[in-house]
C-alpha cells in the first residue's frame, strides 16, 4: 500500500521525552500520537469530578543558566509559566523539620541540628560539587548503535573519569561510611527517602555519582508550574501536529519507511521515536528481530501508588513536602510519601480548593497479580493509611476538609499512560554499557523517556533527548550529503 503522506518523524507518546524531541524538531514534518485525551503521560494534568490534578509529583527543576532544560527552552524560544518555590521540599520526620533549599548554609545548619556529625559539611559540600561538575559537562553521549557510537560512549566514560577520577568508582555506601561514619537510622531514612524519589533506589546499591545527582537537586532552583504540569506539555506542543486519543496498535518496517497503524488509520514515517518504555515497545512491532531487541530489557519492577485529594481550607502551604514515617506504608516499598500542593493562586488547579498529589513507591507487579477483590481491598487500605498519616502531620486539618479523594496504582497507570512501571534500572558502573539508549540497531527507530540513559525527571529525560536530537539531525545531514554525492556522480 502506498502512503499518501510520509512524515519525517512520528513520535509515539507525549510524555516529557516525546514532547521535548518534538519541540526541538518542530521545523520538520512531525506527528505525535497520544493514546489518552491528555498529553504528558505521567507528567499530565487530568480532570476528574470537576477538579484538576497532576498525575504525578510536580517538582520542575533545571530552568536556570547553564542547565539543560533552560538551554532547550531558550533554543526553541519557549518561556514557561512557572513560579519559583520558596522551599524546594520541606522534609518532616517525627519532630524534625528540614527545608531542602538553594541556600546551602541554611540547609547545612538544619542538617547539623537534626543529625549532628563533624563531617556533615564535607559530605554535603562534596555532593554539591559533584553535581555542579556534572551539569557543566559538555557533549554528554551514550549510544550503542554501531562500533563508532560505542567508541564515542567509551570516550565519554573516559571523560567522566578525568573529571571525577577515583570518585567515579566509589560506591555511595562506602562514601557515607568513610565520611560520616555509622549514621543513625533516622539520618539513613532521610537520605534514602530522597533517593527513592530521584534515582528510584537507596544509597546501599548505587554509585556515589548517582547519589550526588539524586541528593543535590534541591540545591537547584525548583519551580511550580502554573496550571499543572500538563499545561507545560500543552504549551510545548502548541505548534506540533498532535493526535490525542489515537492509539498506535502496530508498527512495521517497510523498505523505505515505517508504517504506523493506529485505531483510526495508517501513517508512514522515515523515523519513529517511541516514548513508550523499553519494556513495552516490543509489543508494537511485527518483525521478530525488533521484538527480540526489546525483550532483552527486563522490567524494572517499581511503580507508584498515588493519592489524589481536593482540600478546602484557608491555611497556607508550601508546594512540596516529604513525610518520613517509622514504618513502611502498607503494600508499598517506602516508609515515606511525597506531597505536592497546588499553589493557592493557581486559578485552574485550586479553583475548588487545593489540588493535592501524594505519592510513594510500590512494586508494579504486586498490583497486577491481585484478583479484583484483593486489589480493591489493598488499594483502599493503602489509601486510608496515607489519608490518616497526612492528617496526622498537618494537624490544622480535619477529615472534613477533604472533599474529594481517590487513588491510583500501577494498573491505573497502565490503563491511562500505557505503562506499568516508573523509571528504569539504576545507573551504575556495572550497568553503564548495558543500559538502553536513545538509538536502536534499527535504522530510523529510536526511544526516549525515563527507562533509558540517563534516568528520571525532567533533567534526566532531557539528557537522553539531547543525545537523540543530535543523532536525528546527524542522520539528516548524512542523508542530505548522500543525496548530493549521488546526484554529483550521475552528473559526472
pLDDT at 62: 87
Of 58-72, 149-163, 420-434, 460-474, the least confident: 420-434
Q: What is the pLDDT of residues 238-285, one digit of tens each?
A: 999 999 999 999 999 998 899 999 999 999 999 999 999 999 999 999
pLDDT band at 66 (very low <50, low <70, confident <90, very high): confident
* Model confidence at 397: pLDDT above 70: yes
Rounded to 10 degrees, the C-alpha dihedral 291/297/300/301 comes to 60
Rounded (to 5) percent helix, strand, coil in the chain: 40, 20, 40
pLDDT at 159: 84
What's the whole-number mean pLDDT along residues 435-441? 90
Beta bridge pairs of residue 159: none
Q: What is the pLDDT of residues 150-164, one digit of tens each?
A: 888 888 888 888 888
- What percentage of the chain has pLDDT greater than the value 70? 94
Higher pLDDT among residues 57 and 225, named by residue? 225
Q: How far is CA 479 from CA 25, 472, 482, 486, in A?
A: 17, 11, 5, 10
pLDDT at 433: 63
DSSP 8-state assignment for residue 425? P
Q: Which CATH architecture has domain 6-43+228-299+439-484?
A: 3-Layer(bba) Sandwich (3.50)
Of 165-169, 339-343, 358-362, 368-372, the least confident: 165-169
Domain residue ranges of the chain, discontinuous segments joined by +: 6-43+228-299+439-484, 86-223, 303-417
pLDDT at 456: 79
pLDDT at 434: 73
pLDDT band at 475 (very low <50, low <70, confident <90, very high): low
* Model confidence at 78: pLDDT above 80: yes
What's the whole-number mean pLDDT along residues 140-157? 84
Q: State the average pLDDT for the chain.
A: 91
Higher pLDDT among residues 5 and 379, named by residue? 379
What's the whole-number mean pLDDT along residues 362-368? 95
How many residues would you count in the chain?
A: 492
* Model confidence at 483: pLDDT above 70: no
385-391: which pairs have CB atoms within 8 A and are 24 or more residues apart?
A: 385/329, 385/330, 386/305, 386/307, 386/329, 386/337, 386/358, 386/360, 387/307, 387/309, 389/323, 389/325, 389/329, 389/337, 390/307, 390/323, 390/337, 390/339, 390/358
pLDDT at 300: 86
* Model confidence at 489: pLDDT above 50: no
Q: Is 273 helix (H, G, I), strand (E, B) or coil?
A: strand
pLDDT at 55: 94
pTM over 0.85, yes/no: yes
* Model confidence at 490: pLDDT above 60: no
pLDDT at 491: 36
* Model confidence at 488: pLDDT above 80: no
pLDDT band at 477 (very low <50, low <70, confident <90, very high): very low
Amino acid at each position: 500500500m502506498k502512503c499518501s503522506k510520509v512524515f519525517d518523524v512520528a513520535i509515539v507518546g507525549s510524555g516529557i521525552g516525546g514532547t521535548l524531541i518534538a519541540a526541538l524538531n518542530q521545523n520538520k514534518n512531525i506527528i505525535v500520537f497520544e493514546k489518552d485525551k491528555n498529553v504528558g503521560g505521567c507528567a499530565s494534568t487530568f480532570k476528574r469530578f470537576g477538579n484538576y490534578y497532576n498525575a504525578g509529583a510536580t517538582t520542575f527543576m533545571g530552568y536556570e543558566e547553564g542547565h539543560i532544560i533552560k538551554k532547550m527552552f531558550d533554543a526553541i524560544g519557549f518561556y514557561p509559566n512557572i513560579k519559583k518555590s520558596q522551599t524546594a521540599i520541606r522534609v518532616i520526620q517525627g519532630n524534625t523539620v528540614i527545608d531542602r533549599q538553594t541556600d546551602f548554609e541554611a540547609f547545612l545548619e538544619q542538617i547539623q541540628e537534626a543529625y549532628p556529625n563533624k563531617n556533615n559539611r564535607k559530605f554535603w559540600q562534596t555532593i554539591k560539587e559533584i553535581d555542579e561538575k556534572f551539569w557543566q559537562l559538555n557533549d554528554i553521549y551514550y549510544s550503542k548503535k554501531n562500533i563508532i557510537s560505542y567508541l564515542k560512549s567509551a570516550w565519554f566514560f573516559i571523560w567522566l573519569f578525568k573529571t571525577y577520577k577515583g570518585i567515579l568508582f566509589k560506591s555511595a555506601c562506602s562514601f557515607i561510611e568513610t565520611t560520616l561514619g555509622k549514621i543513625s537510622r533516622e539520618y539513613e531514612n532521610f537520605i534514602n527517602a530522597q533517593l527513592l524519589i530521584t534515582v528510584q533506589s537507596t544509597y546501599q546499591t548505587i554509585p556515589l555519582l548517582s547519589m550526588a545527582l539524586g541528593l543535590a537537586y534541591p540545591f537547584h532552583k525548583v519551580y511550580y508550574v502554573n496550571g499543572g504540569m500538563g499545561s507545560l506539555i500543552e504549551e510545548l506542543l502548541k505548534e506540533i501536529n498532535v493526535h490525542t486519543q489515537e492509539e498506535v496498535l502496530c508498527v512495521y518496517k517497510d523498505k523505505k519507511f515505517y508504517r504506523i497503524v493506529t485505531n483510526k488509520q495508517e501513517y508512514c514515517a522515515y523515523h519513529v521515536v517511541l516514548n513508550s518504555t523499553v519494556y513495552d515497545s516490543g509489543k508494537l512491532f511485527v518483525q521478530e528481530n525488533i521484538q527480540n531487541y526489546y525483550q532483552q530489557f527486563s522490567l524494572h519492577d517499581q511503580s507508584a501508588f498515588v493519592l489524589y485529594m481536593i482540600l478546602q481550607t484557608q491555611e497556607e502551604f508550601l508546594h512540596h513536602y516529604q513525610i518520613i514515617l517509622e514504618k513502611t506504608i502498607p503494600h508499598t516499598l517506602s516508609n515515606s510519601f511525597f506531597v505536592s500542593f497546588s499553589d493557592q493562586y493557581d486559578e485552574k488547579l485550586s479553583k475548588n480548593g487545593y489540588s493535592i498529589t501524594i505519592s510513594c513507591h510500590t512494586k508494579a507487579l504486586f498490583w497486577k497479580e491481585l484478583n479484583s477483590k484483593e486489589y480493591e481491598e489493598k488499594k483502599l487500605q493503602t489509601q486510608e493509611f496515607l489519608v490518616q498519616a497526612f492528617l496526622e502531620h498537618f494537624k490544622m486539618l480535619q477529615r472534613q476538609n477533604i472533599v474529594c479523594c481517590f487513588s491510583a496504582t500501577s494498573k491505573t497507570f497502565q490503563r491511562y499512560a500505557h505503562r506499568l512501571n516508573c523509571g528504569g534500572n539504576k545507573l551504575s558502573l556495572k550497568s553503564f554499557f548495558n543500559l538502553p539508549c536513545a538509538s536502536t540497531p534499527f535504522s530510523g527507530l529510536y526511544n526516549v523517556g525515563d527507562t533509558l540513559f540517563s534516568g528520571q525527571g525532567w533533567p534526566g529525560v532531557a539528557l537522553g533527548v539531547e543525545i537523540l536530537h543530535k543523532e536525528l539531525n546527524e542522520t539528516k545531514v548524512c542523508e542530505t550529503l548522500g543525496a548530493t554525492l549521488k546526484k554529483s556522480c550521475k552528473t559526472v
